[in-house]
Each structure stands twice: as C-alpha cells, then as structure tokens.
Amino acid sequence: MAVELRVPSAGESITEVQIGAWLKPEGAYVERDEAVVEIETDKASMELPAPVSGFLTKHVRQAGEVVPVGTVIAIIEEAERPTTPLPAHVAPPPGVAKAAAQEPARRSEEVRVMPAARRALAQAGLEASDVTPTGPGGRLLKEDVERHLAAAPAVGTAQATPERSTAPSAVSPPAEAASDRQEEVVPMTMLRRRIAQRLVEAKQTMAMLTTFNEIDMSAVLRLREQYGEDFQKRYNVKLGLMSFFVKAAIDALKRWPAVNAEIRGTDIVYKNYYDIGVAVSTDAGLVVPVIRNAERLSFAEIELAIADLATRARERRISVEELQGGTFTITNGGVFGSLLATPIINPPQSAILGLHVIQERPVARGGQVVIRPMMYVALTYDHRIIDGRESVSFLKRIKECVEEPARMLVEV
C-alpha cells in the first residue's frame, strides 16, 4: 500500500517549509521512524521520519523547494524488509527503483552526507560510497571529501596545442587562471533568511549599545581542575564554563529586572522566570535553544541541559518550541577564538551576553604585575529599556560572581 509522506505542522506561526537534503534516495528501504528527509523552517531544521516501513518509491518534491505545511513530498510503498538482497534480474516492488533492491546501493544510503560534503562530491564527480566518512554518527563531511581528493594520485592530462591567436598574448588570461574564477549560486535556507531578517530588524528597531568588562577566570578554572573529574564521574557530563555564566547571569538578572524584561508595544513586561538561551553553531546556522526555568537548576542540570540541546540542535532533532521564548541569551564566540565582539540582541529580548576567548594576560594585582587567564565579556542591551547604570552594574555583577563563585551561594 502506498503511503504519503506529508510535511507536518511545525508550529502555530509556520505555514511553509523548505525541503533540505534527502537522507534516503528513491528506491531505498526505510524503517518506520527512520529519518528520510531534512526540512527547514525559518526557526530550525529537523528530520522528518518515515510513517511506515517500506520502499521510498518517489521524491515528489526536490531539495530546495519551499512548500506549504501538509504538502505530500514523498511516496512510501509499505513493505517488509527483504531478508536477502534481490538478484539483479528480479524486479523490485512496483514503483521501486531497481538500484535500491541491490546491496551496493544500500551502503551509500546509510551514509549521512552533510550539505557542504554533497556539493564537494558533486564538484569532484564522486559518489558518497567513494569516500570514508569520519563525522559523528557516520556522517560524511566536506573535510572527508577534501582528504580523499588530496590522497588520490595525480592524474596527468594531455594538453592540446592551443590555436594561434592574432591578439597579443597579454590580452587573454591563461586558461587555468580563468577556470579558477568560478561562482556558485546557492539559495539561502529559510533558517538563514530568518536569521538575516531578525538581525536587520534588531538593528532597525532597537537602540542597541554595548558595554564591556574583563573577568579573571582563575577561580573557575581552579574549580574545574579540582572537581572536574569527580563531577564528570557523578553526572556523566563535563563541568564547563557555561554553567558558571548561566548561574551568574541569573543572579544579576534578579538584581536588575529590566535586563530580563521586554518591550511590548508601549508596555514593559517584567518576567519573574529565567529562560536562558544558549547560542549553538550548527551546519544550518546559529540557533538558540532555551533552558527553561534555569533558576531552578543545579550546575549539573544546566550542563546536562546544554549538552542535550546542543547535540540535538546539531543533529537537527530539536523542536521549534525549544527555540522559542527565551528571556536572556548567552553566546560564546570564544570557542572559535574571538577576542572581542559586540553580539546582536535576539528580539524580543532586551540584552545578550557575549563571552570570548580566555587568554593569559599581564594584570595588576596588589601593586604587582601578574599573569592571569582573562576573558573579555560584552553586554549588548536595548537602551530604550535599560540605562547605562543598569547595564554596567549588571556586567560588573557577572564579573564578581565568576571571579568569586562563592558569592552566588551566599548571595552577596
């Protein structure tokens, strides 16, 4: 029996989605609940599972198409998995591509090819099965393709004698130089378009200003070194930096409620809960999963929540609801080596905290110059609702809490 694979509802405000990469080719056998295709909304990317087990007979819609919610995008012929590969001369079930009934095709269908790797394969004229994947979960990365190409033996090519030209040789660039001047036009994903739209809106609608400070990370690094191993054994997660900053941010937000508020029309909405967004970089773009009621969580619970949200965001298994409703955001550009930057607010929030790389720098302590692990931090805030005194005091409190974590325990 043929079963239609339709685009499901992805949230009240979402009316259309963009078809991402097809994870299974036409003719492939898929198990029920196995990921078949990636779909992208203006808020997140996610994988769409098969509703039944059977053969994927047809891609009704192609990658890159934008379709309304409810659209049929594939047809699956419900069937049990063959116990042995079908011989080449035996026809597969009706409508099923012949290639999918044979074992060699099954090897390539099991490889999860990332978008950048897919483009690299196409440019090199390779199949996914030609390259050994090294990414998490058996994913094929762009780096895998580049590594394969670099290891391949050079193949000499005979060059034809060029025709004599009547024009001076200096006018015509070498053929090899011209071949390097290529362009690739790639449509923006819905997520990327939405990110661009929101960033421009934030710039146009908010009176954004950024204040800076620097934090001595000695105490936090010392705690991580002292208790990190025991922490990981007990909770099965590393004691990271982010839990300290989430805790410090909540402490500061309680003292300066305007930083946790938002402007709604001509009203200021103060919130007595703390849903902290943590920016996560993914292949599809930057997303901000939200830790709900973070004020109720321990260090371990915060670290576990961050690890879970970040993993599912990168694997495109996160729901739209988990990306909505944050009251304050923390973004860590330091993981990429950023020394100093001015983050942009995530509307309708009123502020965002930016963390940066830890560097050993000379600082004055007690009349002496000493070397300490220092981090620049930045708070971008909406000046319509947050005054300079509040923003500077807020960031100073973050500094105090991180430099002396015991302050957060005794609330002084």
383 is catalytic: yes
The alpha carbon of residue 155 and the mean position of all alpha carbons in its chain are separated, in whole angstroms, by 38
275 is catalytic: no
Using DSSP's 3-state secondary structure scheme, residue 314 falls into helix
* Active-site option among 33, 130, 230, 383: 383
Using DSSP's 3-state secondary structure scheme, residue 30 falls into strand
- On the question of a cis peptide bond just before residue 348, with omega within 30 degrees of 0, the verdict is yes
* Active-site option among 33, 130, 230, 387: 387
- Say which amino acid occupies 128: A
Contacts of 203 (CB under 8 A, 6+ apart): 344
Phi first, then psi: give them for residue 238, nearest 5 degrees. -75, 150
- Say which amino acid occupies 410: V
And the tokens for 157?
A: 């090519």
What gap in Å lies between CA 288 and CA 400, rounded to an integer? 26
What gap in Å lies between CA 327 and CA 339, rounded to an integer? 26
- The answer for 236, left when phi > 0, alpha when psi is -120 to 50, beta otherwise, is left
Positions marked active-site: 383, 387
